[in-house]
Amino acid sequence: MTEHKPTWDYNNPVTGETMPSPFFFDPGIFAEERERIFMRCWHLVGHVNEFAEPGSFVVQDIFEQSVIVLAGQDGTISAMHNACRHRGNRLLNQRRGKIGAVLRCPYHSWCYNLDGALRAAPRAENLPGFDRAEMGLKPVRLEIFASWVFVTLDDAAPPLAEIAAGAEDEMRRFQPDLDNVELVEETDVIVEANWKVIQENSIEGYHFDLSGPVHKELAALIDFSGYRLTPHGQWWTYIGPPTAGATQAYGVKLEGATWQTDWFFNIGIFPNTTFYSFPYTDMIGTFIMIPLGPEKSLLRFGYYAPKGRPVPEVTKAAIEWMNTQLGPEDIELNVSNQKGLHSRGFYSGRYLIDADRPHESEHLVHHFHKLCYQAISE
Ligand code: FES
Ligand SMILES: [Fe+2]
């Protein structure tokens, strides 16, 4: 741990220096991010359609905290702490699934209704001063934003509609089936890198044409002269129009396929949620970097496709390509970047910010770093 937290002057993005390297590995700084960013922000859990059936649940872990998001008998989606009120046992240990009418603790069989109310506690009828009505699971704050379910551990967090005002309109412009998608696949990957190293990589176009071969394949589908990365306070977009005349994508012919958009569309909400649609794919992707430690993150890829129509071959190929090609190519950069940050030969670098070449500029990286710095310093 550093004895004195390094400071960073973020006021001159073009001529100034990048966020200093200790911000990417120092345990003290990471502990502050945990408290001041992740214990206060909104966490993406999943899509409302994952909760269509009573008893459907998703478990969302936030560091050592664990939250159950559960569909009730009447269709209401509620969130509650994943800890039995008897002696604190964790109730559900699976990421997602479906239970019957009762949430039963596997330890001493206390049973809760799907809204978290305690329904029965064996042998508690003669317990003095035991009020069942007061022993329900502790609720967690939940919001539905643009058909996505989020939770926060902070009762004072501003609502998402305020944090991301305008974001939903952008999503609907590029993702016409936003309300109508279902989960196809979720892939978790552990990456030995700080969560910000992963985020940075995804919000700049500078490396697209300059890093690995898979990036060049994606870049070929995008007209980079029109690529724009736009900060809007706590949310941002990075969007590019298609190149003209594509007949295939991700190694598959486009003929007969359906898609959400032919654009390269991405929207991020601070700190760690991204929604995207890649060109010619009939899916909405989620991309979340979940911090596990100063230099360890869980990278979660969610793939959601429109209900009631077959997933086009192009989309299936894109998911496979993302999981086995683009993802690994970026992860390799993340891990190598993380190692380099420890070097005695590096402390701070320079952002490539160029108003005349906005498609390659790193202004969004600076914007993101500034949000992180302000959250823990101001
Ligand atoms: S800890 Fe849950 S019933 Fe005892
Ligand atoms: Fe990349």
User: Could you give the domains of the chain?
Assistant: 21-40+165-377 (3.90.380.10), 43-152 (2.102.10.10)
- Give the pLDDT of residue 182: 97
Buried b or exposed e, range 231-250, using 16+ CB within 10 angstroms: bbebbbbbbbbbbeeeeebb
In this prediction, residue 360 carries a pLDDT of 86
Instruction: Decide whether any atom of ligand 1 lies within 6 Å of the 84 Cβ.
Output: yes
User: Would you give the distance in Å from CA 250 to the centre of its chain?
Assistant: 24
Strand-pair partners of 118: 112
Mean pLDDT over all residues of the chain?
96
Pick from 90, 102, 108 the residue to mutate for probing ligand 1's pocket: most ligand atoms within 8 Å of its CB.
108
Q: What one-letter code names the amino acid at 175?
A: Q
| Residues found in the chain | 378
The predicted pLDDT at position 191 comes to 98
Burial of 253 (0-12, 13-18, 19+ CB in 10 A): exposed
Confidence of residue 110 (pLDDT cuts 50, 70, 90): very high
Rounded mean pLDDT, 179-206: 96
Q: Band of the pLDDT at 11, cuts 50, 70, 90?
A: very high
Q: Residue 357 C-alpha to ligand 2 middle, in angstroms?
A: 18
Rounded distance between C-alpha atoms, residue 23 and residue 28, angstroms: 9
pLDDT of 2 strictly over 60: no
Q: What DSSP designation does 298 have? A: E
What atom in ligand 1 is closest to the CA of residue 108?
3
Q: Buried (b) or exposed (e) across 99-130, using 16+ Cβ within 10 A?
A: beeebbbeeeebebbbbbebeebeeeeeeeee
Q: Which long-range contacts (CB under 8 A, 24 or more apart) does 321-327 make?
A: 321/214, 321/250, 321/251, 322/278, 322/285, 323/187, 325/214, 326/214, 326/215, 326/218, 327/189, 327/299, 327/301
Average pLDDT (243-251) is 94
Q: Is the pLDDT of residue 94 over 80?
A: yes
Rg of the chain over all Cα atoms, to the nearest angstrom: 22
Amino acid type, 76 = T
Residue 80 CA to residue 42 CA, distance in Å, equals 15
Alpha helices in the chain (DSSP H): 27-33, 160-163, 167-174, 195-202, 213-219, 313-321, 327-340, 363-377
Tell me how far the alpha carbon of residue 48 lies from the centroid of ligand 1, in angstroms: 30
CB 301 within 8 A of CB 325: no
Is any ligand 1 atom within 6 A of the Cβ of residue 300? no
Taking only the tens place, the pLDDT of each residue in 253-295 is 999 999 999 999 999 999 999 999 999 999 999 999 999 999 9
The residue-averaged pLDDT of 93-118 equals 98
What does the pLDDT read at residue 3? 57
pLDDT at 4 over 90: no
Ligand nearest to the CA of 326: 2
The predicted-structure confidence for 345-374, as pLDDT tens digits, reads as follows 999 999 999 888 888 899 999 999 999 999
pLDDT per position as a tens digit, 320-345:
999 999 999 999 999 999 999 999 99
Mean pLDDT for 295-319 is 97
- Mean pLDDT computed over 202-212: 86
Query: Which residue has a Cα nearest atom 4 of ligand 1?
Result: 108
| CB within 8 Å of 213: residues ≥ 6 apart | 329
Greatest extent of the chain over all pairs of C-alpha atoms, in Å: 76
CA–CA gap between residue 95 and residue 88 (Å, rounded): 19
148 pLDDT higher than 80: yes
Is the confidence at residue 1, as pLDDT, over 70? no
pLDDT at 77 exceeding the cut of 90: yes
Can you count the helices (H) and strands (E) in the chain?
8, 19
- Cα 227 to ligand 2 centre (Å): 14
Nearest to 374 by CA among 1, 7, 59, 4: 7
Tokens coding 93? 């240990």
Please tell me if the CB atom of residue 90 comes closer than 6 angstroms to any atom of ligand 1.
Answer: no
Nearest partner of 74 among 93, 51, 58, 45, judged by Cα: 51
Q: Which atom of ligand 1 is nearest to the CA of 84?
A: 2
